[in-house]
């Protein structure tokens, strides 16, 4: 579709459009596209609101922004080393570029990605229509922890972003197959499940919010993350665009919200592709030989205390408890019953829908995983359930405690001649 220059200028001259685009472009490299003539020089930046209107007068039809945030975007240049880029990068946003054969299919995938992020306690999620057939979902850098295993998260791009994207893609595969079957869609899941991880590389761009799209003539407008199903392409016509929805929330109140997502994505990665090596959770010989169900009498103090009910950190303890019980020889049905009983002890119980989704997802995992190790500060001590006894000083993982306590009473006795 040909965009008429006068209409493009009128659109990009709107003050509300300029304000929104300038806000999200802060500390980012930008690239402008001239209709039919390709991209302009890089690196480039937006400094003032009027820059956007002036670019339009020069023939610019779309604006693209970097996933990464830079200390000085104009210092970027071709051929920079990984170390040079790491030193210049101050942060990055986790961007999911969802591009399925049709907007309807992209909507299914976007909703599953959204629900998967919330499953990991991430609530600060931005969403926008890509401008053509897909959606862009984003978790702003403000939701990330500062460090992971003593490594600055700002320097873990693009590796960490790729791990998370591939982990969530793997996570939604089964629900997506069910959706295809439910709607009787004649489509291959490989065509539907397109979350572009190629986009996740240094200095790659994605279309800026409110930027126009040359092929469709539509604007890449933010969409209410809970109302993706209500989106209609008519909303993105330039004459219909309103700026009442923010694409990203840069509030620091979301700090560390994505910590659990990162931990579980790394764990998945270590068992599979090993894109980044991190210290592994220890699986002792005792764990490998466990062939019986551990009774609650032999649970460690931290698990017993958590089972009494919590005021804060219930989702984190749920994650601990699921892995602990499964590693301790409990069956899926027994685990589900015990989790619901525990939830009743909480002053403000988790919602049944959330609990059910967690149980369902955990039951689909084939491999047993140990609960987090005792020294992990993000769990037992932070939840204030670490109340060690004498045996605790001799073990590194809560499961080891139970094995040592129970081995003589529950392990099958050897037959004598």
Q: What is the pLDDT of residues 186-218, one digit of tens each?
A: 666 655 555 555 456 788 899 999 999 999 999
Give the best-scoring range by mean pLDDT among 129-138, 275-284, 360-369: 129-138
The phi and psi torsions of 127 (rounded to 5 degrees) equal -145, 140
Is the preceding peptide bond at 158 cis, omega within 30 degrees of 0? Answer: yes
Q: d(Cα 31, Cα 206) in Å, to the nearest integer?
A: 10
Q: Give me the pLDDT at residue 280, please.
A: 40
Which of these, 143, 412, 416, lies nearest to 289 by C-alpha position? 412
What does the DSSP 8-state code read for residue 154?
Answer: G
Q: How many helices (H) and strands (E) does the chain have?
A: 15, 11
**Mean pLDDT to the nearest integer, 384-392:** 87
- What integer is the mean pLDDT of 341-350? 90
Q: Return the CA Rg of the chain.
A: 25
**Which range among 55-59, 88-92, 401-405 shows the weakest confidence by mean pLDDT?**
401-405
Apex CA 124: angle with CA 122 and CA 127, to 5°? 110
The distance of Cα 100 from the centroid of its chain, to the nearest Å, equals: 19
pLDDT value, residue 19: 97
Q: Domain spans of the chain?
A: 66-254, 282-410
What is the pLDDT at residue 37?
A: 76
pLDDT tens-digit series, residues 153-174: 999 998 899 899 888 988 888 8
Distance CA 318, CA 358 (A): 9
| 66-254 is a CATH 3.30.70.3300 domain | yes
Does 389 have pLDDT greater than 90?
A: no
**In what order do the strands lie in the sheet containing 135-139?**
94-98, 135-139, 126-129
| pLDDT at residue 276 is higher than 60 | no
> What was the pLDDT predicted at 417?
40
Q: Of 22, 39, 220, which Cα lies nearest the Cα of 134? A: 220
Contact 161, 238 (CB under 8 A): no
Handedness of CA 19, 21, 23, 29 (dihedral sign): negative
Q: Which residue has the tokens 């049944």?
A: 352
Lowest-confidence range among 16-30, 204-218, 246-260, 368-382? 368-382
Q: Is residue 297 over pLDDT 60?
A: yes
Residue 318 clears pLDDT 70, i.e. is over it:
yes
| Tokens encoding 214 | 């040359």
Residues 66 and 73: their CA atoms lie apart, in Å, by: 10
pLDDT given for residue 271 in this prediction? 64
DSSP states of 172-210: THHHHHHHHHHHT--S-HHHH--B-STT-STT-EEEPTT
End-to-end CA distance of the chain: 87
Q: Where do we find the tokens 């990991």?
A: 120
C-alpha distances in Å from residue 249, one per residue of 19, 45, 209? 15, 21, 13
């Amino acid at each position: 579709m040909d965009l008429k220059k006068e209409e493009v200028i009128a659109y990009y001259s709107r003050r509300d459009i300029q304000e929104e685009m300038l806000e999200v472009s802060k500390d980012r490299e930008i690239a402008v596209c001239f209709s039919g003539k390709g991209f302009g020089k890089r690196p480039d930046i937006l400094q003032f609101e009027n820059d956007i209107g002036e670019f339009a007068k020069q023939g610019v039809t779309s604006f693209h922004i970097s996933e990464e945030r830079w200390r000085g975007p104009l210092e970027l240049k071709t051929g920079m080393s990984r170390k040079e880029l790491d030193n210049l990068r101050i942060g990055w946003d986790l961007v999911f570029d969802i591009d399925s054969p049709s907007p309807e299919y992209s909507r299914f995938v976007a909703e599953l990605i959204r629900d998967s992020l919330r499953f990991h306690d991430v609530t600060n999620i931005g969403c926008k229509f890509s401008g053509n057939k897909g959606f862009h979902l984003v978790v702003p850098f403000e939701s990330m922890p500062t460090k992971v295993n003593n490594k600055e998260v700002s320097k873990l791009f693009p590796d960490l972003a790729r791990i998370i994207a591939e982990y969530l893609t793997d996570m939604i595969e089964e629900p997506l197959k069910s959706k295809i079957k439910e709607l009787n869609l004649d489509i291959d899941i490989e065509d539907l499940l397109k979350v572009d991880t190629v986009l996740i590389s240094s200095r790659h761009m994605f279309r800026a919010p409110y930027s126009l799209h040359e092929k469709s003539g539509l604007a890449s407008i933010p969409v209410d993350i809970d109302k993706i199903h209500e989106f209609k392409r008519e909303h993105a016509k330039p004459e219909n665009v309103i700026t009442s929805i923010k694409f990203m929330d840069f509030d620091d109140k979301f700090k560390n919200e994505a910590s659990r997502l990162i931990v579980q994505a790394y764990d998945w990665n270590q068992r599979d592709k090993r894109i980044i090596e991190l210290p592994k959770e220890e699986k002792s010989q005792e764990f490998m030989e466990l062939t019986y169900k551990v009774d609650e009498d032999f649970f460690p103090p931290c698990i017993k205390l958590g089972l009494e009910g919590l005021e804060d950190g219930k989702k984190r303890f749920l994650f601990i408890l699921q892995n602990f019980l499964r590693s301790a020889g409990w069956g899926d049905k027994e685990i589900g019953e015990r989790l619901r009983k525990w939830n009743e002890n909480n002053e403000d119980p988790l919602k049944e829908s959330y609990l059910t989704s967690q149980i369902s997802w955990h039951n689909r995992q084939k491999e047993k995983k140990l609960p987090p190790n005792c020294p992990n500060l993000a769990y037992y001590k932070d939840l204030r359930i670490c109340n060690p006894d004498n045996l605790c000083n001799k073990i590194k993982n809560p499961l080891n405690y139970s094995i040592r306590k129970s081995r003589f009473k529950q392990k099958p006795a050897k037959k004598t001649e």
